[in-house]
Amino acid sequence: MTFYDKFLIISLVIISVIFIISPLANILVEGNNLDDQVIIIQAGDGSRQKIPLADTYREEPVIIKVAGPIGVSIIEAHNGRVRLKEAPPEDPEKICEKTGWIDRVGPMIICVPNQISIWIEAKESELDGVSW
Amino acid sequence: MIRTRKTVVIGLLVAMGLILHFVESMIPMTAIVPGAKLGLANIVSLLGLVLFGFQGGFQILALRILLGALLAGTFMTINFYLSIAGGLISFISMFLAYRFFQDKFSLVGISVVGAAFHNLGQIIVAYFIIANPGIFYYLPYLVLLAVPTGISVGLVTYFTLRYLPGAVISIN
């Protein structure tokens, strides 16, 4: 073991410890913001509204009105879930209303007559790990 | 004669590397930090580098990774890409360290460099696979673990070299 060996080893240890501690300290200071999913509401003209799921944890539900070809749909987001609360009366089947709440990545609320789709998307890749 | 002897020694080192690779997979290092490995197979790459220089060491490394992947059935899978990326970047960094800083670093230091770069290469490839920059938060844990394993690999290589008969050493 030469002097440079020891220098290399000690500096590697120090650097890695710093990089381990600094993100942890960040989490302690700023709180865990891993909950970074967004609700995406897409209207018939392709325009999108994004609402962070974290913003729906309030006493009052978030109400969004989206106008489509047959009327105005009322969308409600509350406590980390979202539903299409009220389809316009012209909607014959009201399938989107019957879909109910969705609270995770995967399911989707689709309203064909009013051309609205609602889903939850993760900001980061959905893969959370690979083992090797 | 020397060529034959060299071929035989390279073959032996590849075989030992394969066995070390499988012995290593039996030791549950993943319980401590997932993805962490002892890097025992690095012993033969380093030995090859010291005994035969870049070319011989590279042959040993490439053959070891290829045959290891074929034997374990991970050829052309994510494991294989991670293994080849880590192996290549680690070998090249060890070669550069050995070539240019031989007077400064002993085998222990060179092995630590190799272990740290092995992790770096794997994390970079893992980033391209899972496309999540969060994976880089993982690097310091791996590097921290790479230091003791690198030291042990370097020491093993050093003592193996001292133990080897002169006939093997004088091949190159």
Distance CA A132, CA B165 (A): 37
Average pLDDT for residues B125-151, to the nearest whole number? 85
Interface check B108 vs A, CB under 8 A: yes
Question: Do A17 and B144 touch, CB atoms closer than 8 A?
Answer: yes
**Beta carbons of B130 and A9 less than 8 Å apart:** no
Task: State the pTM of this model.
Answer: 0.66
**Beta carbons of B109 and A2 less than 8 Å apart:** yes
Distance CA A109, CA A104 (A): 12
Domains delineated in chain B: 2-169 (1.10.1760.20)
ipTM of the complex: 0.77
What confidence tens digit (pLDDT) does each residue in B28-85 have? 776 677 767 788 888 999 999 998 889 999 999 999 999 989 988 888 888 888 889 9
Question: Do B43 and B28 touch, CB atoms closer than 8 A?
Answer: no
Distance CA B150, CA A12 (A): 12
pLDDT over threshold 60, residue B164: yes
Residue A35 pLDDT grade (very low, low, confident, very high; cuts 50, 70, 90): low
Residue A91's SS3 state is coil
Mutate to test the interface with B, among A2, A6, A7, A8 (most CBs of B within 10 A): A8
Interface check B164 vs A, CB under 8 A: no
Q: Facing residues of A66 across strands?
A: A73
- CATH label, A37-122, candidates 3.40.50.300, 3.40.50.12780, 1.10.10.10, 2.60.320.10: 2.60.320.10
Q: How many residues does chain B have?
A: 172
Q: Which of B152, B120, B151, B140 is nearest to A12 (CA)?
A: B140
Residue B29's SS3 state is helix
Task: Work out the minimum CA distance from A87 to partner chain B, whole angstroms.
Answer: 38
**Sign of the torsion angle spanned by Cα atoms B37, B38, B41, B42:** positive
> How many helices (H) and strands (E) would you count in chain A?
2, 7
CB contacts, 8 Å: A130 with chain B:
78, 126, 129-130
Task: Work out the minimum CA distance from A131 to partner chain B, whole angstroms.
Answer: 7
Distance CA B151, CA B76 (A): 31
**Least CB–CB distance from A132: residue in B82, B101, B113:** B82
pLDDT given for residue A93 in this prediction = 78
